[in-house]
Amino acid sequence: MKRILVLNGPNLNLLGTREPTVYGSTTLADVEALCREAGGRLGVDIDCRQSNHEGQLLDWIHEAGTAHRNGQLIGAVFNAGAYTHTSVALHDAIKGTGLPVIEVHISNVHAREPFRHHSYLSPAAAGIVVGFGVDGYALAIEGLVRKGQVG
């Protein structure tokens, strides 16, 4: 069975207690369960990972790029948290591996502070899902599967 990597970046381990008015009360474990459920419906395996460390996220993207080239991985759904707005290295990793990445944000970053309006990931992403709350992860998984099917 083909796989999708669901990657969460810094502070997303705090979901559930972190600014609930912005991010809701769903925990990261709930989000991961929601992703596995979406994968089950679509017939794909879901591999969920979270790290607060940029280098770890880079290593996982490199690994995922190899798995994608080998035909084992459809792509990744990636909420890079604040690294979205700061990380040229994550941009370069996505470009450099050719990994299809759907960028996800729980909140509508464009309706928030100006420093959240720019994303280093968006120009390298295959698609973007913003502002749908945690449902955005399931939408991104479905979008990635559908994109994979149409080539």
Catalytic member of 91, 105, 120, 137 = 105
Six token digits for residue 105:
């944000």
Give CA separation, 130 vs 72, 109, 110, 111, 126, in Å. 27, 7, 9, 10, 14
Give the separation between CA 85 and CA 115, rounded to whole angstroms. Answer: 7
Among 37, 41, 53, 82, binds ligand DQA (CB under 6 A): 82
Out of 39, 81, 100, 127, the only residue in the binding site for ligand DQA (CB under 6 A) is 81
Near ligand DQA by CB under 6 A: residue from 56, 107, 128, 142: 107
Q: Does 29 bind ligand DQA (CB under 6 A)?
A: no
Provide the 3-class DSSP secondary structure of residue 149.
helix
Q: Which is nearer to ligand DQA, 67 or 140 (CB)?
A: 140
Active site residue 23: yes
Which has the closest alpha carbon to 57: 90, 33, 95, 15? 90
For residue 145, report the phi and psi dihedrals to the nearest 5 degrees.
-65, -45
Examine residue 51 and tell whether it contacts ligand DQA (CB under 6 A).
Answer: no
Please report how close the Cβ of residue 71 comes to ligand DQA at its closest, in angstroms: 30
Element at 133 (helix H, strand E): none
CA distance 63 to 61: 5
111 binds ligand DQA (CB under 6 A): no
Q: Does 79 bind ligand DQA (CB under 6 A)?
A: yes
- Residues marked active site are found at 23, 105
Q: Which residues bind ligand DQA (CB under 6 A)?
A: 11, 79, 81-82, 84, 105-107, 109, 116
